Amino acid sequence: MTIQQWLFSVKGRLGRRDFWIWIGLWLCAMVLLFSLAGSDTLSLQTASFILVCLLWPTAAVVVKRLHDRGKSGAWALLLVLAWMLPAVNWNMLPGVWQWAVGQLLPTIIMVMMLLDLGAFVGTQGQNKYGKTTAEVRFRQFTSNVQQ
């Protein structure tokens, strides 16, 4: 799998190693982005634009990892739900329900998805989303850049 397929295509399957590589790169980018925005080195609008630009590669990696687990990419919508639930004003619910729906449920969803995507082995052999998992060819990319 090429770098372009890894980051921009939702077709195929992706193993745990390449999933964790992207998550590590994404976390480093978020720390750098919010550090620069927090110190007023980078405007909030620019930081928001960069964050939005990183959504597609993240979605592509997550969907391919779900495919490797034999699941539809629609399962990624659970991550969107977990991201949006804390933003809702849950004051219409009684005390403990505000916490349960606004904080506990999103945390459970995120932990379960992280375990499913990052810890569990994908389906062995071929499944309906493709043949075996293809590793990203990072070295091929760097050798093409050097030429």
Cβ pair 106, 82 in contact under 8 A: yes
Segment 123-142, tens digit of pLDDT: 888 999 888 887 888 776 55
Cβ pair 20, 68 in contact under 8 A: no
DSSP state of 121: P
Q: Considering only CA atoms, which of 101, 75, 76, 77 is closest in space to residue 87?
A: 101
What's this model's pTM, rounded to 2 decimal places?
0.84
The residue assigned the tokens 């590589």 is: 21
4-to-1, 99, 113, 124 alpha-carbon distances in Å? 8, 41, 24, 25
- Rounded to whole angstroms, the Cα distance separating 13 from 16 reads 10
- Higher pLDDT: 60 or 1? It is 60
Segment 20-76, tens digit of pLDDT: 999 999 999 999 999 999 898 999 899 999 999 999 999 999 999 999 999 999 999
Half-sphere exposure of 36 (CA within 13 A, CB side): 15
